[in-house]
Chains A and B, each alone.
Chain A
Amino acid sequence: MSSKPMASQPSDTSSYRLIVVDDDSMIRESLKAYLTHYHQANYSLLVDEASTAEEAVTMIDKTPYDLVICDINLPDRDGFYVMHQAAERVPEARRVLITAYDLDRYIRMAKQEGVFNIITKTAPFDFQELSQTINNLLMPESAMGLENYLNNPIEPMQSLVVTNSDLIMVLQGKLHEFFTRFQLPDVDALSVVMIEAITNAVYHAPRLPNGEEKYEKGQHIEALDPDEYVTVSWGVDGEKLGVAIRDQKGTVTADEVMYWIDRNVAGESLMDTHGRGMYLIYRLMDRVILNLYRGHATELILLHYISQKPPDNKPLYINEF
């Protein structure tokens, strides 16, 4: 993930203030060292540290941080408490949690506190991914586009614009062939999940003026309106495959997504058909990045590693802007 030139970024060197909260001094200091000295961007980061929740809140009281990175498991209070306090003091602060544990147990709390980005302490730890996440948090619009997630693609990225419902089947064939070419072990499951996501984008995003969905799932659509087109891109770099699915509506909210993930995690949704797709994607793919550009676009970036499998504790990345 290279840091791409960012159009929205002012040309002069700007800087952001952030605070890293973790009682594990080694992790805290490593994160600070990386972000201070190695994070490549056309802005600089001023990094403060805190080792307890109370210390963090006291510091946030004094400094309106642009970004708060906080471990969930702290000795005095938990990370959600810090997130809550940070939001009250600095509403515009970007907030991200970090944990060594599985996300499942935290989804409900994260939803309640409105924290949609959770980094996992994996081993090996992926600093490039951290850089991308920080970029996305500070400049959410730079999160859009599959090209930002593929380093030195080994073949040109491809894309197809879905203008009618028949093209969904065409895409299924193309993606199946793409996955097979890279000898993925779970080609069928992956293809099904992709089609589920694409179908959702085509059928659920377009709404009637009264807010109801315009199309019925499974209905044949001869021609979508130009503003209903869904763009699907796919590509590969040395370590992973990526697929991006993007609509032009931007009707999905982070709350909705968290609701479906939470319901599925909690096992309350055996009969749900609506949120199952999102949950399956979240389960089957190595990385899911959701870009919710309200009123403009919803983009789902799906990454599947082909070289070395990343560790099991998956992060949560939802950018809403």
Chain B
Amino acid sequence: MTTLPSPTDATLIDAIAPTIDEAPLSVVLIRDDAQVVWANRQAKTMLQMAIERQTLTTHEGMDWAQMLVLLSDKKPFYKPVDDVGLMWLPHPLERQAAQTHAYFLVWLVPSDSLELDWTMLQQDWLRQRQLANMGRMTVEMAHELSNPLSSISMAAQLMGMSIQTLGKMSQADTADVALLAKHVGLLKDNLAHLEQSLLRASDLRQEILSYARPSVIRPKPHQLDTVIQEWLEQQRSHGLAKHMAVTYEPLEPSPTILCDVGKLEQILYNLIKNTYEATNGKGRLWIKASMSADDQWVQISVEDDGPGIPETMQEKIFSPFLTTKQMTGTGLGLSISRDIIQQHGGHFSVYNKAGRGACFLIQLPRFTPNQPIPRAMAEPE
């Protein structure tokens, strides 16, 4: 299995900076060796850190090393330091898979805001991120619409041209049967193009809407094995797995995960659909359950023997409007899948297998019986 390059400080900062640099919250990124590798604008002002320095070193008022001890506990905490308080919330971006260092996003709040509602802050955060993404996406959406719109315009005009020719023929004394047949054929073809392009534009609209309205996650404890078995049975009787070879390798004993079953099924469906489309229904799929090496993460890998992810696409595989146009979707599927997994506090990554095929890896936090169950994650609709 070849893994994608593990993110460095720079790639991680590139990924988070656009969404939170201008956020009205103070956020710093701490590496597990107690280095503050990045701070957003607000945080720099708050800590009076030198903006020009590439790597921010330990701020005198802060004991980052001690902070890390607290962070490793994985529980939300609030710690006042002088007039600045430090707050950490378990957060989708707090850690990325497949990297050498662990990173933590820490929110700094003034000491006088001790009474802050954490859930509200987290919702604020999600909204911020959503808004920033929307701005960039609007441009991408407009571009993505160009193809179907342009081909709708082409098909409609070509139909007009054929109709004009047929109109002229209807006024002629003798009928040119061959020409008539040719234009009827062209009309048929172009009508089919028109319908297909309209469908594509409509699909795109649907996907944009589903992205714009983030869904609420309602997690409950579930046996992983039960979730996958039930879903697979359904897929085998009247879903895509009816036409495709899907092998499932369960893990025993089956771990418990905290998840929204409907959402997880949606992701699994997206993955099976991707393979189905990439291999014209001829591919095989393997679903494997496992535990991560450190036993902290429940892993579901979905592997196929399809063409894999082209090298040129690996970097942008999660951009919302990635499309190769041959796919029916817009690529929003993967982007949404990752968001859902992150809302679960997990990670979603993609690898190319050494031989052939792609591997999608879902990592969800292992659920322990006395863990509190949140009512809902993400903002209500």
Contact = CB atoms under 8 A, between A and B. Distances in A.
A23 B326 contact: yes
B192 to A, nearest CB: 9
A122 B325 CA distance: 17
Nearest to A102: B143
Given A23-B324, A37-B186, A75-B310, A30 B154 contact: yes
A106 B177 CA distance: 47
Interface in A14-51: 23-24, 26-27, 29-31, 33-34, 37-38, 51
A124 B157 contact: yes
Nearest to B164: A38
A121 B161 contact: no
Interface in B91-147: 143, 146-147
B143 A29 contact: no
Nearest to A78: B312
A89 B221 CA distance: 62
Interface in B320-339: 324-326
B153 interface: yes
B152 interface: yes
5 closest A-B pairs by beta carbon, nearest first, are A123-B149, A100-B146, A30-B154, A121-B150, A75-B324
B155 interface: yes
A1 B176 CA distance: 29
B154 A100 contact: no
12 contacts: A24-B147, A24-B151, A29-B193, A30-B151, A30-B154, A33-B186, A33-B189, A100-B143, A122-B150, A122-B153, A127-B154, A127-B157
Nearest to B148: A26
Given A101-B143, A124-B153, 6 more contacts: A34-B154, A75-B324, A76-B310, A77-B312, A101-B146, A123-B146
B151 A34 contact: no
A31 B155 CA distance: 9
Interface of B: 143, 146-147, 149-155, 157-158, 161, 182, 186, 189-190, 193, 196-197, 310, 312, 324-326
A33 B182 CA distance: 11
Nearest to A121: B150
Given A75-B310, A75-B326, A100-B143, A27 B157 contact: no
A107 to B, nearest CB: 17
A231 interface: no
A34 B143 contact: no
Interface string A109-134: 00000000000011111010000000
Interface string A294-321: 0000000000000000000100000000
Given A75-B326, A127-B157, A121 B189 contact: no
Contacts of B324: 23, 75
B197 A26 contact: yes
Given A23-B324, A23-B325, A24-B325, A38 B150 contact: no
| Secondary structure class of chain B's binding surface, majority of residues | helix
Dominant SS at the A interface? loop
Contacts of B312: 76-77
Contact of A34 (B146, B152, B158, B325): B158
Interface in A263-317: 313
Contacts of B310: 75-76
A98 B151 CA distance: 13
Contacts of B150: 27, 100, 121-123, 125
Contact of B152 (A31, A37, A123): A123
Contacts of A34: 154, 158
Interface in A45-88: 51, 73, 75-77
A132 to B, nearest CB: 15
A26 B158 CA distance: 12
A124 B146 CA distance: 10
Contacts of A124: 153, 157
Nearest to B313: A75
B191 to A, nearest CB: 12
B158 A38 contact: yes
Contacts of B158: 30, 33-34, 38
A244 B325 CA distance: 39
Contacts of A121: 146-147, 150-151
Nearest to B193: A26
A104 B196 CA distance: 30
Nearest to A33: B158
Contacts of A127: 154, 157
Contacts of A100: 143, 146-147, 150
A127 B324 CA distance: 25
Interface string A174-206: 000000000000000000000000000000000
Contact of B146 (A23, A31, A51, A313): A313
A76 B158 CA distance: 30
A26 B151 CA distance: 6
Nearest to A37: B186
Contacts of A125: 150, 153-154, 157
Among A29, A30, A75, A100, the most chain B Cβ lie within 10 Å of the Cβ of: A30
Nearest to A99: B146
B157 A29 contact: no
B2 to A, nearest CB: 19
Contacts of A77: 312
A37 B158 CA distance: 10
B193 A30 contact: yes
Contacts of A313: 146
B325 A75 contact: yes
Nearest to B197: A26
Contacts of B151: 24, 26-27, 30, 121
Contacts of A29: 189, 193
B50 to A, nearest CB: 28
A33 B190 contact: yes
A27 B154 contact: yes
A125 B161 CA distance: 14
B14 to A, nearest CB: 19
Contacts of B149: 123
A23 B310 CA distance: 15
Contact of B161 (A38, A73, A101, A123): A38
Contacts of B157: 124-125, 127
Contacts of B161: 38
Nearest to B194: A26
Nearest to A52: B326
